[in-house]
Each structure stands twice: as structure tokens, then as C-alpha cells.
Structure 1
Amino acid sequence: MINALRFSAFVFALSFGSLWAGGDGWMQDYKAAEKLAEREGKDVLIYFTNSDRCGWCIKLDKEVFSQDVFKRNAARDFVFVIVDNPRQSPLPADIENQNQLLRKHYSVAFCPTVLLCDAQGRPYAKTGYRTGGAERYLKHVNRLMSQKAQRDAGIAEAADLQGPPKARALEKALSVVPSSCFMIYKDELAAIAAADPDDASGFTAKMKASETAKALKRSIQPLFKDRDFAGVSVCVDAYIKEQNPTGEALQTAMLYQLQALYKEKKFDQAIELAEKVIAINETNRPARFSRMLKKRIQGIQGK
């Protein structure tokens, strides 16, 4: 099934590659798209794709973005921007560099990712592939647009408040924003911290923990690439000692060590660590992954 999907993706990419070459209503120049959106009073729909190798991206192209009903109706509210990363047809150097910066700026880890942003590039909704075709996807996007109004209402309310009430209003405003994009709202985050220095809701601490966890991930990725699994363990131990994470944050950090032990074939230690992860919370994603890896190891060991 997976191979068939990849083959279909390749064939569709060959047939429709020109669709994403900055034509058919889609722009590649992000700054130009922002200026156009501001001039026309529209928002920006940013589509992150690996157009010639991502099966789900190809399905989204074929079923939604290439359909006239979507393009015609969504264009009333949005300027379309495509941020591609193809292998078969290299992009111009300036666009490729821009796209790398955009993926980092918006913390995009997977494709397809679709962001709905205001004309200043501030995201208020995030989505991806969905079944049902163009008309159903259009309705989905229209529902997501209401999140902008909720965001803006909260920011407007906060302007007339002081202290913790101001912080709570801003937190409510940001509650609709994709969590991966919180740091784009630096002014609002700074205002929350200033209005509630005691962090009564724990919001600021949560944001700081999230950013620290992202920094850990960035530090660990090259270690896995270089197969420096001992370095992974040292890095995670330092993070746990310095940050003292709890709950899922701790489990997620431990997963890096678990994967390193698995790669090193230190199976007994890996099983022991998997059980510790599961003991923290038996039902969340880190626990499910740990259970799966434990089962795989036991299969290798013939247990």
C-alpha cells in the first residue's frame, strides 16, 4: 500500500509539477505574498510540501488544491503561498534558502502542513491533509478562519486590562494559535510575563519548558545522525538535571535515551527504561511508543 502511494505520488508529481512552479494562483515569494495580502485585505495560506515524494502532499494537491472550487472560493480570502522542498526539480537558490528559513520560522516538522496567517505572517490555525475532497476542505478552512476573530478579540480585550486579568485575556487569545508557532507572538508572550510575574496560570513556565524541549531536540538530532548514542544519553541527562522536567516532558526526553539504547542494541537497558517511561503515564504517546518498542525488542530476543 505504501509503495503504491509513493508511486502514485511520483506519477502525479510528474504530471502536475508545473502547478506548483509559482503559477496557478500559488506564489513562491513569501514577502511578495505578504505585501499582496495586505494590499488586498486578505490573509495568507501557506502550504508546506515535499511535492515530488510525499504521498499525502500529492493527495492534498490532487483532491483539494488543484480543484477549481477550492481555488475560486478560497482566493476570496487568501493569498496562496507554496513552500516546497522537491528533490527532482531543484528550486532557484533564493527560493530554496527562503523556504528553509520559513520551515524553521514556523517550526514545520511534517508535510503536508497548512498554516492560515494574517497579512503580517502571524499564524492563527494549522491543518494538513483531510479526506473528503475540495468542498469539504473549504468548509474546514472556513471554520478555522473563526480562530482569527477569537485571537484578535482576546488581544483587543487585553489592551484595556492590567495585571493578571490582562495576562489571562492574552492567554485566551493565544489558545487558538498553533503551539509550535507560539514564539512568533513574542510581544504577547512578553506582555503576559510582565502582567503576571508570578505566573499564576503556569502559562509562562509551560512556554519556557516547550522552548527548552525544542532546544534539546535540536541538540540531539545531529548526535543521532552521527550515531553518537552515548552523547544522546549525556545530553538528555544534562537536560533532566538542569530543567527538572515532569510528566510528558520528562517522558519525551527519556524517549531519546530509549531510542539510543535500542540503536546500540542494549536491549535489557532499553526495556528497563521503557518501563520507567510507561510508569509515569500509561496512556499518552510516549507510553505507547515505549510499549511498542519494548514489544519489538522482546520479539528480537525471542521472549
Structure 2
Amino acid sequence: MKTTFITMSVLAATLFFTTVTLAADAVWTDNFEAAKIKATKEGKDLLLHFTGSDWCPWCVKLHKEVFSQETFKREAPKHFVLVDIDFPRRKEQSEKVKKQNRGLEKRYRVEGFPTIILTDASGRPYARTGYQEGGPDNFLKHLQELSTLKTKRDALFEKAENAKGVEQAKLFDQALNWLKSNGINSLNEYTDIIDKIIAYDTDNAAGLKANYAVQKVQYESSDRLSDIMSNLDHNLLEEYDKAIKKLEMLIETSKPVPEIVQTIYLKMAELYQEGKKDDAAWLKNLEKAADVAPHTDIGKRILELLEEIEHNSLLVE
């Protein structure tokens, strides 16, 4: 009985502290898919907060000055479902959350913290920002201003939908360029719009079909390359063989974009050197990387490296 009482007491205490923690962070969730469902149900947008909560100075500053303030916690959830996408160095996270966050970081092309991305309920981004001075009131005003960008985006898309033929392709192109001008640099969330541009500029009369066809390959190949490399188990030699085969297949579908093919060859060289310890294959893939796009900065650096390797080989001989 005593043991049962102690166990129940510990359980009660655990539940109490869990409840307190959840209550303190009730305005935030770390579940992206659940957040989308909630946003759709409540007619709200998503505020994605990419942060390094326990090591990034500007992230800590933003949390202290804005996100921890009662004004923000009261007002922001009226318009947004708040999603915390954290990359801590000390705080524990489940593997599920870590995997989700890595995927979202890649998906939204996040390159630094803190990054705030506003999306519609489906996850399509329309605005990007970061730390702002002025506390919660100024930040809320800033969010309100950014929210108008979605209205503008939707109006541009509607105008395009009501047009016909190549004019429709041109208007969709204008809409995507407008998004780019407002900080949405990667359009991988708008591939359906890209497909429409390709379809409506049937004969490439506006010069859009060819351009966007290449962009689409670039987005898809980049995502696939990232998936292959991030899922590689570096402790298993056979995983290197599988990854190399996947990269070889990816080269075939990436040929319209030499820069992507170059990157793939570099990754293959890396796998041969790191996992297979095959210097000959490493060198061969470096040469292929240089040959496919010698005009790029990377291509030029590879050529310099190859010249240095050849020079050193001659000295040894």
C-alpha cells in the first residue's frame, strides 16, 4: 500500500508539473500537422517560429521582449496558430519532433534564427520576417501589416484564374515574382501554380514554360537530394551503396539543371571518399562535377583542386 501511495504521489506530481508546463505554453504548439488542422478549422493563418531557444541570442531576445509578453499571448492567437519550431542544443526533444523540424527547416529554406514565416492554413508562405524592436505592440502591428500580403497574393491569383491562355501564364508569373519580391525566395510550395504556367504557355510563346520547367526540376531535385543525404546512416557501409544508387538515378531526372547535377556528383564523391574509401571513384566524380558545369564558382574551384592534385601526383612520380 505504501509503495502504491508513493507511486501515485509521484504520478500526480508529474501530471501537475506537465499541466503547468503545458498551460504556460498553451498558445504554442510544436505539432505542425495538428496546427494546420486547427488553422483550417478556425479560419486562421500559421505563424512558424524557427528558433534556437537555448543558444541563439536574438531568439532569446525575441522571446523575452515579445513572445513571453501577455499582450502577445493574448492577441496573436486571435489571428494565428503559433508553431514553435525549435533547434535547441540542450533541451530534450523527441525524435519525431526533431525529424519534423529538420524537414520544415528544409521545406521553408530557413538559413538563420530567429526566422518567422507566415503561411495560410495549408502551409503556403506569404511573408517572412525576424526580430523586430519595439516589444509586443510593435510586433503585433508588424504582423498585421504582413497579413495584408496574403490578401494581395490571393487577389493576384484570382486575377490570373479569370484570364485565359498565355495571359493566364503571364499573370501567374507576375504573382510568383511579387511573392519573391516580398521575401518568399523559394517557390517549392507553389508547384501547382508553376504547373499552370507551364500548361498555359503551351508553346513557350511568353518564354515562361522553359524557365519554369527548369525551376520545377531544381526544386524537386534539391528536395530529393536533401532527403537522400539526411536519411543516410553513416554507420552502415551498405547504406552508402544505396545512397549512391539513388543519386545516380537522381542525376537522370536532374539533367535540365547542370548546377544540380554538379552538386549531386560532389555528394557522390563525398560518399565514395567518406564511406567507401575509394579515392579513384572520388576523383572520377570530382571530374564529372567539373565537366558538367565548369562555368560555376564551384566548377572553377573543382578545376583548381584537380590541377593541384595532378601537380602533386607528378611531383610524387
| TM-score, with length taken from structure 1 | 0.65
Shift of 1:233: 5.9
CA RMSD of aligned residues (A): 3.6
1:13-61 superposed Cα distances (whole Å, 9 cap, x missing partner): xxxxx98999241101111111111111100001111111112221221
Q: Of the candidates 130, 136, 139, which is equivalent to residue 137 of structure 1?
A: 139
Larger Rg: 2
Return closer, same or farther for 1:90/1:196 CA change in 2, 3 Å cut-off: same
1:77-96 alignment, distance < 5 Å: 77-96=79-98
Q: Which residue of 2 aligns with 1:157?
A: 159
Deviation at 1:101, TM superposition (A): 1.7
Tell me how far 1:136 sits from its aligned partner.
2.2
CA contact (8 A) 1:37 1:79 kept: yes
**Structure 2 portions without partners, runs of 5+:** 1-19, 220-256, 309-317
Match of 2:74 in 1: 72
* Corresponding letter in the other structure for 1:62: K
Please tell me whether the aligned partners of residues 45 and 121 of structure 2 are also in contact (alpha carbons under 8 angstroms). yes
CA deviation string 1:118-139 (max 9, x = no partner)? 1111111111223333222222
- How far, CA to CA, are the matches of 2:38 and 2:127 in structure 1? 20
Change (3 A) 1:128 1:195: same
Residue 29 (1) aligns with residue 31 (2): yes
Letter in 1 for 2:201: D
> 1:232·1:256 contact (CA, 8 Å) conserved in 2?
no
In the aligned structure 1, how far is the partner of 2:284 from the partner of 2:65?
A: 44
Out of 181, 192, 215, which is 1:187 matched to? 192
Residue identity matched to 1:86? P
Contact 1:20 1:26 survives alignment (8 Å) = no
Q: Hey, what's the Cα distance between the residues in 2 that align with 1:233 and 1:95? A: 36
3-state secondary structure, aligned to 2:163 = coil
The whole-number CA distance in structure 2 between the counterparts of 1:117 and 1:184 is 10
Shift of 1:91: 0.4
Question: What is the aligned partner in structure 1 of residue 215 from structure 2?
Answer: 207
Q: Name the CA shift for 1:129/1:214 in 2 (closer, same or farther; >3 Å).
A: farther
**1:186–1:95 distance in 2 versus 1, CA, 3 Å:** same
Q: In the alignment, is the contact (CA less than 8 A) between 1:193 and 1:199 conserved in 2? A: no
Task: Call closer, same or farther: CA 1:115–1:239 in 2, change over 3 Å.
Answer: farther
Spell out the pairing of 1:163-182 with structure 2 (5 A cutoff). Answer: 163-174=165-176, 175-176=178-179, 178-182=183-187
Percent sequence identity over aligned pairs? 34
Partners of 2:288 and 2:130 in 1: how far apart?
33
Report the residue type matching 1:151 in the other structure.
Answer: R
**1:235 positional shift:** 6.1
Partner of 2:231 in structure 1? Answer: none
One-letter amino acid of the counterpart of residue 293, structure 2: I
Q: Normalising by the residue count of structure 2, what TM-score does the alignment of the two structures yield? A: 0.63
How many residue pairs get aligned? The number is: 238
TM-aligned CA distance change 1:231 to 1:164, over 3 Å: same
Contact 2:117 2:128 survives alignment (8 Å): yes
